[in-house]
Structure 1
Amino acid sequence: MPIVLKNSQVAAVIDTWLARRQLSAILDAVRCPDYDLAVWLTTDRRIRLMNNSFRRVNKPTDILSFPTNEHLTPGTIPDPQLKALGDIIISVPYVIRQGFDVKHRLPVLFTHGVCHLLGYDHETDDDYDKMKAREDAILERLAELDLVDRDRIRDEPIIESPSDMYVDREKLRHPRETDDLPKVLSS
């Protein structure tokens, strides 16, 4: 199965069936339905350790993305031989502290993370505009499939802060604190 979803947090009850359907629809929308994707829903402590290991920022964040295929041009399909997009890590307690309803925020973050795995970024205004347009199109598709509430996500910011970060996959091979990596990421 191309989607691995690991939920190791207890701050919120997660409808994993819905989350998998959302992730599958996102992969369909980006034309990568058979690609592997690992998503880890975790705690502030774990994401803080990973953020410190890979970005040297010793604080929690909402999302980290680890692409398998580096240096992709946004909008291109990754190497079909690899059939792997990468890994997304989300701190559910961080999302709650931001005041979001987890049920409605997770598909937005899933979409944001997948876009990072496909080479999109938001370092410049032009990059931001391209990424936001792609995210909006994906979320609209999820709404058409009744996998998200269009009214609840319409005005929700996708890029909440510069705290979410694309992380170079090479750094994943040499982490400082490997004991905190999820099994799906270290295999």
Structure 2
Amino acid sequence: MSLQLDWRNEQQKMDIPEAWITKLEQLLQMAAEAEGITEGEVSLTFTDDEEIHQLNRDYRGIDRPTDVLSFAMQEDGVDELDIFFEVESEDESDPISGMLGDIIISVETAAAQSKEYGHSLEREIGFLFVHGFLHLIGYDHQDDAAEAEMTAKQEAILQQAGLSR
């Protein structure tokens, strides 16, 4: 298996150009390479503010829309999924063991933020995707040091891909 991006568009407010998907696949490869990850699958969903608001409320207890949500499968997913797939040992294959997780991006919020920050929407979508990916593999920004580390990693990948501010 290699790194795979599975994506879908579940919003009607904006078309998702094929060039964005190509760039996101490139960003996935760059971010994964920087972190030493060679295999896995990331599911990406483009949605609107209404849907991401509901997800943010239901899963995080925050009653407002946000720009990106990440749901990692590797944190606790395999142990919980053993019940459903009856995985009895580490030698048996688990149908989703390669799944890193889900990233959900609100294109409405991304568009507003790109205007606010004065850069392209493609750059904002790329930033949110890399941010979400880093969350999937365990990075967080709960304190200043962790935020600085995550920000540096995001910016390095975006610069490498030609998505500067």
Same-fold call, TM cutoff 0.5: yes
Task: Report the aligned-residue RMSD.
Answer: 2.1
Cα distance in 2, alignment partners of residues 25 and 9 from structure 1: 27
**Does the aligned pair in 2 maintain the 1:14–1:103 contact within 8 Å?**
no
Determine helix, strand or coil for the equivalent of 1:39: strand
Larger radius of gyration: 2
Q: Which residue, out of 104, 127, 132, partners 1:89?
A: 104
My pick for the range that moved more, 16-25 or 1-10, is 16-25
1:134 maps to 153
Q: Which residue, out of 32, 40, 43, partners 2:45?
A: 40
User: Which is helix-richer, 1 or 2?
Assistant: 2
**Does the aligned pair in 2 maintain the 1:29–1:141 contact within 8 Å?**
no
Unmatched segments (≥5 aa) in structure 1: 72-80, 154-187
2:133 maps to 114
Shift of 1:14: 1.9
Aligned length: 137
1:61 maps to 66
Cα distance in 2, alignment partners of residues 83 and 138 from structure 1: 23
Aligned residues with identical type, % of pairs: 31
Shift of 1:8: 1.6
Shift of 1:56: 1.6
Give CA deviations for 1:68-92 in whole Å, capped at 9, x if unaligned.
1228xxxxxxxxx832211110100
2:122 maps to 103
2:13 maps to 11
Give CA deviations for 1:82-114 in whole Å, capped at 9, x if unaligned.
322111101001112232632121111111111
Shift of 1:17: 3.3
Give CA deviations for 1:26-72 in whole Å, capped at 9, x if unaligned.
3333332421100111011111110111112221110111111228x
Report the TM-score, using the length of structure 2 for normalisation: 0.73
Report the TM-score, using the length of structure 1 for normalisation: 0.65
Letter in 2 for 1:131: M
